[in-house]
Amino acid sequence: MPLSRRRFLTNSAGLILGAASAPLWLPTVARAGTIPIFPEYYTYAGFYPKIEAQSYRLTCDGLIAAPRVFSLQSLYDLSKHAEVETFHCVTGWEVHNVSWRGIDLGSFIDGLRPTSTARYVVFHSADGVYVDSLTLEQARAPGVILATHIAGEPLLQKGGYPLRLLVPQMYGYKSVKWVNRVSLSAVRPEGTWERDGYAANAYIRKGFSWSDLL
Ligand SMILES: Nc1nc2c(c(=O)[nH]1)N[C@H]1C(S)=C(S)[C@@H](COP(=O)(O)O)O[C@H]1N2
Ligand SMILES: [Mo]
């Protein structure tokens, strides 16, 4: 292609893009409908659990007054906390202004009536592999929710449907997907990413490289 022709195309493209006020680079939030599409949908287990609303149960056990089992409907009834946050994966990507709805974790845990010896909240995934935990104090921090909805819609199957943890203060690996068991414990089991050397207290550190966490 002659150089002049190429210049012409570049100029036209610039004008069109300018008129549409769309940036030339890819936006951080790509949208299908209203649900933001994340750059990656991780599955450490190697598959995405397919959970049916009717048969789903959340089991709560360990150091609490008595074990409890919740249906999805009963969790939706508790899902009243709205939260808009940037989601940060420790591998470097982030998605801005994600609007979530979920259950305030602090009040949920208080409702389970932890015993005086309980120190950690452990989150298990229906994939049977992934696990992570928070201290009771971290679990009670503002904005920490068991998310049921994203952008007003139930979570995507790949995004942890029907229930995922959201810890906005920490890197995404803390936010366990497909949560089906919440267990109160006196000891902290090693989380999936901790086994690879990542911090249990995964606070997002602006201006630091992800490798600082290693
Ligand atoms: N069960 C389960 N939860 C998980 C993961 C996983 O592989 N399995 N990956 C974690 C990581 S590293 C990140 S960054 C987020 C990514 O969320 P997404 O898969 O919805 O994009 O989920 C977290 N929760
Ligand atoms: Mo991640």
Domain-embedded: residue 69: yes
CA–CA dist 126, 196 (Å, integer): 21
Residue 11 lies in a domain: no
CA 40 to ligand 1: nearest atom:
21
Torsion of CA 186, 106, 65, 173, to 10 degrees: -50
In a domain, 188, yes or no: yes
- 26 located within any domain: no
**What is each CA distance from 91 to 58, 155, 172, in whole angstroms?**
30, 22, 9
Total of domains in the chain: 1
Distances (CA, A) of 186 to 69, 134, 165, 170: 21, 12, 20, 22
Pocket test for ligand 1, best of 88, 100, 177, 204 (most atoms within 8 A of CB): 177
Instruction: Take atom 19 of ligand 1 and give the residue whose Cα is closest.
Output: 41
**Residue 34 domain-assigned (yes or no):** no
Domain carrying residue 133:
51-205
pLDDT of residue 106: 98
With a cut of 70, list the residues of the chain below it in pLDDT: 1-33, 207-214
Whether the upstream peptide bond of residue 162 has omega within 30° of 0, thus cis, is yes
Pocket of ligand 1 from Cβ distances under 6 Å: 38, 40-44, 89, 125, 127, 130, 159-160, 172-173, 175-178
Q: Tell me if 201 is assigned to some domain.
A: yes
Q: Give me the sign of the Cα torsion angle 94, 100, 102, 105.
A: positive
Q: Residue 34: what pLDDT?
A: 85
Asked if 44 and 127 touch (Cβ cutoff 8 Å), the reply is: yes
206: CA distance to ligand 2 center in Å?
16
Residue 24, in any domain of the structure: no
pLDDT of residue 10: 32
CA of 60 to the centre of ligand 1 (A): 21
Any domain includes 25: no
Q: So what's the pLDDT on residue 189?
A: 96
Among protein residues, the one with the nearest Cα to ligand 1's atom 8 is: 43
Please tell me the pTM assigned to this model. Answer: 0.85
